[in-house]
Chain A
Amino acid sequence: MGYLLEVRNITKRFGGLVAVNNVSMGVNTGEVVGLLGDNGAGKSTLIKVISGVYPADQGTVLFQGNEVHITSPMDALAMGIETIYQDLALAENLNTPSNIFLGREKMKKILGFLNVLDHDYMQQESRKILEKLDILIPSLRNRIRALSGGQRQAVAISRSIYWDAKFLIMDEPTAALGVAEQKKVIDTINRLKSHGIGIVVISHQMHDVFQVADRLIIMRRGEKVAERITHETNADEIVSLIVGAETVTQNPGRAAAP
């Protein structure tokens, strides 16, 4: 079996600027890949190509072994490719079940003809998915606004898993979180891994990436400059790769065997 998600020779230009230059990478099921690079290295652009925000100028995307054409974020969602954005895309005025079911509400009939929201069902299902991922939310009736950053992150993740995400893209999942909360998010990512989800994590927090990622891909000025197995490298090497202090030859042979 090949990669769960693979991109081959992706190039994306904005006018004269080459944001992503001929990048190839793949993620296995149950694997976490850390995508690292300085600001403007092309990480976000690459991610947005995968999640359907930008069309690629060149290159192909393969999902579950088949070439796919992702032309909008809705295409990506329908395939099971979900992006957990930094701003989380939650409606803060609604509670947890309402957010998990947003746009896909469960309805029930009353009086034989009126379709109303089935809050009980949505609450039970939400409780189940949160338990499955071992996530603790004080009260499901609390609006998202009343939750902490880590809890919000957890709700966003639960929503994608409930709706059958197979591949998750997480943009700075631990940014703006307290230390205890960061650890919780990392625990959650590890749990998702054991459920066979493929994950790409973009992060500036070197420490967190080393804790969760199996493999690291380093980008600089739109190009992929290196790929490392996490436990075979160290933070110093990665930092020098990010800033370009060291000349490194690409070594695709060291990619994790699928």
Chain B
Amino acid sequence: MTRRAGFTSFIGQRWAVLFFVIELIFFSSLAGGFFALNGVQIVLFYSTTLALLATAETMVIVTGGIDLSVGFVMGFASVVSAKLVGGFTDRGLPPDVALLLAILITLAIGLLPGLVNGLLIARLKVPPFLATFSVQGITYGIALLLTQGSAAVNVPNLANMIGNGYFIYLIPGHGISFFTAPPATPGVTVIDIIPTMVVVTVLFIAICAFVLKRTKFGQHTYAIGGNIDAAVRAGINANRHLVIIYVISSFLATLSGIIYMLEYVTGKSDAGSSFMLDSIVAVVIGGASLFGGVGTVWRSILGVLILSVLEMGLKMMGVQTFDKYIAVGAILIFAVLIDQFFPELIHKED
């Protein structure tokens, strides 16, 4: 390999990292308080829901498909869980039991959109684009019906405590407390470290990253995305595999919706409306190929962080977030061009 090709390859593989670093330097110097503990935590906290959707989207895109329904499955889940927990508490259940029941039932219901997607795509050979687009409409419609077009807000305060709680509370010189905030005392400063929802999100992302990279299931996911005929000839049940992938995608979107409900103490049918595009953009920035077979969860998460830093940074600078859409569009075009022109440089080894 010539030096020039080596250089292009280097940039091709790492432009997203470089871009992220430049972004951080830019906003740290221009937006006050951005690179402080709080600033970082706000970005991470804001990223949780999108990160789960991008993880779901990564698994689907690696198979060569696409899931346009994740954003609205997320909104649907936030509405269903909010409605359920509200209903349970109205019937006299204590908030903790109501919340737990609502979350479990929502997770179960949340498998259905994925099952429909998977069966349409794998069994009936409907193109993923159309199948998931239809399911998106249906889940959005049901969520709108459930809320009569408004938001589901009858959520107990316990959700707020969990959703906006922190993993560690540090009282300098006095002690440390996990998950529950110490009672507010005048004159004592409590440092909040790592939002609980970030911990939950990272846990699920790590499991998915592990499954995709190190297990037989993950290997078959890449094989199906690379050459589905080869996978089938090698004895892999590609149809069943695809159904499972879309169910996982829908499960993660549902989880994302539940986290949204806990964080914002509300259920909104359009909670994830902008995430349909953002999740795909994050995955593409992460170097995944929309043709399938290439992409990793952690790189997609880098894509998520690039988008979140951009949005939060612009907000902190007081710039209107409309500019974000223009920037996101430009980044997407750049990412796709890199993939188009240097695929062999980016994807030479696995």
Contact = CB atoms under 8 A, between A and B. Distances in A.
Interface in A51-94: 73-74, 77, 87-94
A124 interface: no
Interface string B269-299: 0000000000000000000000011100000
A107 B294 CA distance: 22
Contact of B216 (A89, A117, A141): A117
A89 to B, nearest CB: 4
A146 to B, nearest CB: 5
Given A93-B347, A143-B348, A146-B344, A115 B231 contact: no
A112 interface: no
Most chain B C-beta atoms within 10 Å of own C-beta, residue among A87, A104, A105? A105
B235 A92 contact: no
B214 A117 contact: yes
A92 B227 contact: yes
Contacts of B293: 91-94
Nearest to A110: B214
A95 B350 contact: yes
Contact of A93 (B226, B229, B233, B236): B226
Contact of A117 (B215, B226, B230, B235): B215
B115 interface: no
B347 A102 contact: no
Contacts of B304: none
A102 B234 contact: yes
A153 to B, nearest CB: 14
A92 B219 CA distance: 13
B236 A92 contact: no
B310 to A, nearest CB: 30
A89 B229 contact: yes
A158 interface: no
Contacts of A92: 226-227, 293
Given A104-B235, A145-B344, A91 B230 contact: yes
A99 B220 CA distance: 11
Size category of the A interface is 20 to 34
A116 B215 contact: yes
Interface string A96-123: 0011001111010000000111000000
Contacts of A143: 347-350
B223 interface: yes
A94 B350 CA distance: 7
A105 B219 contact: yes
A142 interface: yes
A145 B347 contact: yes
B236 A103 contact: yes
Most chain B C-beta atoms within 10 Å of own C-beta, residue among A88, A102, A107? A102
Interface in B221-253: 222-223, 225-227, 229-231, 233-236
Contacts of A116: 214-215
Contacts of A145: 344, 347
Nearest to A141: B349
A14 to B, nearest CB: 22
A93 B222 contact: yes
A141 B223 contact: no
A252 B215 CA distance: 53
A145 B342 CA distance: 13
Nearest to A106: B216
Contact of B231 (A74, A77, A103): A103
A102 B222 CA distance: 11
B234 A103 contact: yes
A92 B227 CA distance: 7
B234 A117 contact: no
Contacts of A103: 220, 223, 231, 234-236
Contacts of A98: 219, 223, 350
A95 B350 CA distance: 7
A66 B206 CA distance: 52
B235 to A, nearest CB: 4
Given A95-B349, A102-B223, A143-B350, 19 more contacts: A74-B235, A89-B227, A89-B230, A90-B227, A92-B227, A92-B293, A94-B226, A103-B223, A103-B231, A103-B234, A105-B216, A115-B215, A116-B214, A117-B214, A139-B349, A141-B350, A142-B348, A143-B347, A146-B349
25 contacts: A73-B233, A92-B226, A93-B226, A93-B292, A94-B219, A94-B293, A95-B350, A98-B223, A98-B350, A99-B230, A102-B223, A102-B230, A102-B231, A103-B231, A103-B234, A103-B236, A105-B216, A117-B214, A117-B219, A141-B349, A141-B350, A142-B348, A143-B347, A146-B344, A146-B349
Interface of A: 73-74, 77, 87-95, 98-99, 102-105, 107, 115-117, 139, 141-143, 145-146
Which are the 4 A-B pairs with shortest beta-carbon distances?
A103-B234, A93-B293, A93-B226, A91-B226
